[in-house]
Amino acid sequence: MSNTIKAVLIDISGTILVGQEAIQALQRLQQQQNLKILFLTNSSTSHAALLQQLRSAGFDESAITNINSIMTRVFQLQKKISYTKQTASILLEDALIESEFNELDMNDPNCVVVGLAPNKLNYQRLNEAYRLLAKLKSSSNDTTIDCSIQSKSHLGCNRELSLGPGRFVSLLEQSSGVTAHVIGKPSSNFYNEALSVLGIDDPSQALMVGDDVVGDVKGALDAGLGHAILVKTGKYTAGDENGNKTEGILPTLTVGSIVDAVDYICSNF
């Protein structure tokens, strides 16, 4: 491994969950000397629950070292709310709120948090969020929608594409006149935080691997990462690599799977 690339960021959902060959590929990548690896996800799952899912799928310590090898948007969202001392109306699943946000003040909310929460993104809850935003906007210009994920679609538990929370965020933005602040991919802040966790000062020394041409490829390259590899699994649809969804920004390389991406990384850096 040369000094050109010092860190590899890897998306989880849709990118690595493709069987024993993926596990073996990650084990091989972990054996590369002087290479820092961090797994990123926009999943609305706690670190502990996500690591347990990965362990159950066969990703042992030789493939994904420990809980510190994973960074979620929930982690960044917690930090932001705590740092800004906001009180939030949170449209996330109850189990996630109880496990990750139970210590946060949610009384008299001054912002709205939206994430992947099929049980919460209904007319009643969205209308409540709209009314809160309208009320807050009439009294302050600091009202925000903290959008923990802005994807238009996501890969559901049945491995089929489903409507993403980004559509609901757009609805709230347009109806309330409040602009959303994106937390998680493709936000440059998310990538900057990931590089900070790894101790990487120069983003050009990092490479991203993922299945989402907007969140993983465009987001990473916009943040200054040196390379972004698109894999044809998960959210990938034919033609994503042509720049039609990314304002002409193209992946460094498009490959069949995480196995091919690891082969390329090990052979070229």
pLDDT at 1: 47
**SS3 label, residue 181:** strand
Q: Is the pLDDT of residue 3 over 60?
A: no
The mean pLDDT of the chain is 87
Q: Are residues 167 and 215 in the same domain?
A: no
Considering the domain architecture, whether residues 114 and 150 belong to the same structural domain is answered as: yes
pLDDT, position 200: 97
Residue 144, domain CATH:
3.40.50.1000
- The answer to whether residues 102 and 175 belong to one domain is yes
**Residue 81 located in a structural domain:** no
Residues 56 and 189 in one domain: yes
Beta strands 161-163; 153-155: pairing state: antiparallel
End of a domain among 141, 158, 182? 182
Indicate whether 146 and 227 sit together in one domain: no
For residues 213 and 241, the answer to whether their CB atoms sit within 8 Å is: yes
Residues 98 and 164 in one domain: yes
Average pLDDT over residues 154-171: 73
Last residue of a domain, one of 160, 182, 204: 182
DSSP 65-121: --GGGEEEHHHHHHHHHHHHT--EEEES-HHHHHHHSTTS--SS--EEEE-S-TTT-
* CA distances from residue 155 to 9, 52, 65, 235 in whole angstroms, order as listed: 20, 19, 25, 6
Tell whether 196 and 252 lie within a shared domain: yes
pTM of the model: 0.80
Indicate whether 47 and 97 sit together in one domain: no
Q: Which of 148, 182, 216 is the last residue of a domain?
A: 182
Tell me the Ramachandran region of residue 36: left when phi exceeds 0, alpha when psi lies from -120 to 50, beta otherwise. beta
Q: State how far the alpha carbon of 141 is from the alpha carbons of 131, 134, 147, 185, in Å.
A: 15, 11, 18, 26
What is the distance between the alpha carbons of residues 256 and 52, in angstroms, rounded to a whole number? 27
Mean pLDDT for 29-50 is 90
- Residue 1 domain-assigned (yes or no): no
Q: 2 lies in a domain?
A: no
Which one is predicted more confidently, 210 or 107? 210
Q: Which domain holds residue 114?
A: 86-182
> Which DSSP letter does residue 217 get?
I
- The alpha carbon of residue 31 and the mean position of all alpha carbons in its chain are separated, in whole angstroms, by 25
Q: How many domains does the chain have?
A: 2
Shared domain for 29 and 53, answered yes or no, is yes
Whether 67 and 116 share a structural domain: no
- What is the share, in percent, of the chain residues with pLDDT greater than 90? 54
